[in-house]
Structure 1
Amino acid sequence: MEDIKLLFICPGYLIAEKILRKMGLKYQLTFVDEPWPSFDSKVELHVIKGNNFQQILTSLMETEFDAVVYLASMFSTISKKSIPKIDFEQLYQTLEFVSNKGIAKLIYASSVCVSGFVSHKVDYKPLYIPIDEEHPCLPHEPHGLVKWIGELLCEQYSRAYGIECICLRFGQLDFTHSISSTDNEDNWFKSIVRIENVLQALELSLKYNKYDMEIPFKSFYISDAETSMLQNSLDFIKTTYPEMPPPVKDLNYFANAPKGSLFSNQLAIRELGYNPD
């Protein structure tokens, strides 16, 4: 076991179970989460009940951690309308905890929703495809806005306190390798990502240190290599935008992967060493 101590915040039971199997023998893990239906008594789990999240963080102030992983992927007992507010509040409290303790790194589970092309009310057209980290983010609904604001919070805490913050813009999580999309606009933006690739990206982020800005902050799109659509990606784009399809930024991208994700993994591949299966 590596002498690296990780704090996972709100992964949800299903993801936590995968984390324990994949990373439990490599790292020393602590979890803060809603109640789990069952867990090994050897697992250090601090259970969120009501409004005790801040109390839990306070109780952990004397515990050493090398990194915090803020997932906030499952709030099973909370109203969907309350999730954005709670997600924002808990991320802020987590960043305060990290900065006050002097923890070196925070990994934030963001979402492709920050793009404005997944959950959306306005039918924007991309400036180009595949969408990458240089493309403007255009969120305008609660989930995408909260994740985008979350990234901005991470960036400012990196600037102010030197915390290494990595934001992973995950696609729709596919636990069972069975998600299939109909070929319509609402689905092609929903890039999928298998749990194995989520865990791979998390582990790679723990080792990442190639920041190219004055502050130690970085965002990456993380999805599977291909969509689950029936059509090739470019054929679908031509069908969706028949009058004026968005231009292709990298012609080789779809030449090498006709069903390639419409959210580019190329930055994560180059810099993180990400290798989507």
Structure 2
Amino acid sequence: MHIIVTGGAGAIGRHAVHELLSAGHSVTTIDLREPPQCMSGEQFIEGDLTIQSEALRVIRDADVVVHLAAIPNPDSDPPERVLSVNTVSTYNVAEAVRRNGIRRLVYGCSESSSGFGIHYVNIKPQYLPIDETHPVCPHETYSLSKRFGEEIAVWYAQAYGFEAVALRYAWVWLPRDAAGIQALVERHRAGNWQVGSWFGAYIAPQDVAQAVRQACDVPLGCGRLEAFYLTAESTFYPVPTLEVLTAIFGELPEVRDADYFVSNPYATPFDTRKARNMLGFRPAYDWRHYEEWVYATPK
């Protein structure tokens, strides 16, 4: 297949491009800047996806579009810019997909779109584990932009009959954040840790890339979107997940599927079984071996 990856010059994008090329696909990267070194078989096109004419020009002649381009957090830019850039670019990508007859859109969403990732208010889950049908409550600029993007993909897939996938991945541990994460890991290893408001979910970019490849390949019906939560197998905490959630909220949310936590007491509160069953997703990376994978750069 020929696959377009928006944001392919970014940290997650480089891993996704490498994974897709390794699987035998042809890949075109679209970004505001060219990657330091294009991989063998990768093509690059410069394009600003916040401009619709640019999106229509560069997103064409492909089987699948993987849309990863985004401002990746609420803190690096003014909040109104985060919301507008992420939402408008996703709208323009969806327009290009439908106008140019592309079969599938794979949207790089976020667990934050649920309201439980990046958040300013601690919202107690209605039940555990949190699956893709759990009600959402995004309430800051980044999580809102990701949620709006998923809704655009849902409605466009229904209206125009293309296939869509939303990958709701957890906090992706990237080289640019390595110093802060390393300090977190070292405190954790020394036993100097405490439960905050974070649920402890994270993921390696290599595992996100695995899911991107699977989302491009999995058989789907037209006219609908399939969403998937993606995290590492277990949380970052050394105590069982139900204890973590009790510590955060003062009481345990309803546990609808106790077997989920019996098989792995440290399992992420985000239910990844749909990704496991439909995509074949198997996260391979864990914080205990963080140094072995966080600095890996695909070439």
TM-score, normalised by the number of residues in structure 2: 0.80
1:226 offset after TM fit, Å?
0.6
- In the alignment, is residue 24 of structure 1 matched against residue 25 of structure 2? no
Q: Is the 8 A contact 2:30 2:46 kept in 1?
A: yes
Q: Retained in 2: the 8 A contact 1:8–1:29?
A: yes
- In the other structure, the counterpart of 1:57 is 55
Structure 1 position 119, deviation (Å): 2.0
* Pair 1:5 & 2:16 matched: no
Provide closer, same or farther for how the CA distance between residues 16 and 116 of structure 1 changes in structure 2, counting only shifts above 3 A. Answer: closer
Instruction: Give the root-mean-square deviation of aligned CA atoms.
Output: 2.5
For 1:17-59, what per-residue CA distance to the aligned partner results, in whole angstroms no more than 9, with x for missing partners?
323432224111111112246123864222246x874343333
The match for 1:45 is 44
Ranges in structure 1 where 5+ consecutive residues have no aligned partner? none
Report the alpha carbon displacement of residue 97 of structure 1 after superposing the two structures with TM: 0.4
Does residue 194 of structure 2 align to residue 183 of structure 1? yes
Match of 1:152 in 2: 151
Runs of 4+ in 1 over 6 A off after TM superposition: none
Unaligned runs of 5+ in 2: 176-180, 285-299
Query: 8 Å contact 1:108–1:167 — kept in the other structure?
Result: yes
Q: 1:11 to 1:186 in 2, by over 3 A?
A: farther
Aligned counterparts of 2:107 and 2:35: Cα–Cα separation in 1: 25
Q: Distance in 2 between matches of 1:33 and 1:97?
A: 15
**1:227 shift after superposition:** 0.6
SS at match of 1:202: helix
CA distance in 2, matches of 1:166, 1:102: 17
Query: Does 130-139 or 230-239 show the bigger shift?
Result: 230-239
Q: Is contact 2:50-2:88 (8 Å) kept?
A: no
Q: Does 1:100 align with 2:107?
A: no
Provide the rounded CA distance (Å) in 1 between the counterparts of 2:66 and 2:113.
Answer: 19
CA distance 1:135–1:5, change in 2 (3 Å): same
Measured in 1, the distance between the counterparts of 2:38 and 2:29 equals: 12
Deviation at 1:210, TM superposition (A): 4.4
Aligned length: 267
Change (3 A) 1:53 1:44: farther
The one-character-per-residue Cα deviations of 1:123-175 (angstroms, maximum 9, x if unpaired) are 22111112111210111111111111111111110111111010010100023
Residue of structure 2 in register with 1:209 after alignment: 219
Amino acid at match of 2:278: E
Task: Work out the CA distance in 2 between the residues paired with 1:217 and 1:54.
Answer: 23
SS at match of 1:185: coil
Q: Which amino acid aligns with 1:185?
A: G
Please tell me whether the aligned partners of residues 8 and 70 of structure 1 are also in contact (alpha carbons under 8 angstroms): yes
Q: For residues 205-244 of structure 1, what are the structure 2 equivalents within 5 Å?
A: 205-211=215-221, 215-242=223-250, 244=251
Counterpart of 2:19, as a letter, is: K
Of all paired residues, the percent bearing the same amino acid is: 24
For residue 209 of structure 1, report the CA deviation from its aligned partner: 2.5
**Structure 1 residues 241 and 17, CA gap change in structure 2 (3 angstroms):** closer
Partner of 1:164: 163
State the alpha-carbon separation in 2 of the partners of residues 160 and 251 from structure 1.
38
Q: Is the 8 A contact 1:118 1:186 kept in 2?
A: no
| TM-score of the two chains, using structure 1 as the length reference | 0.86
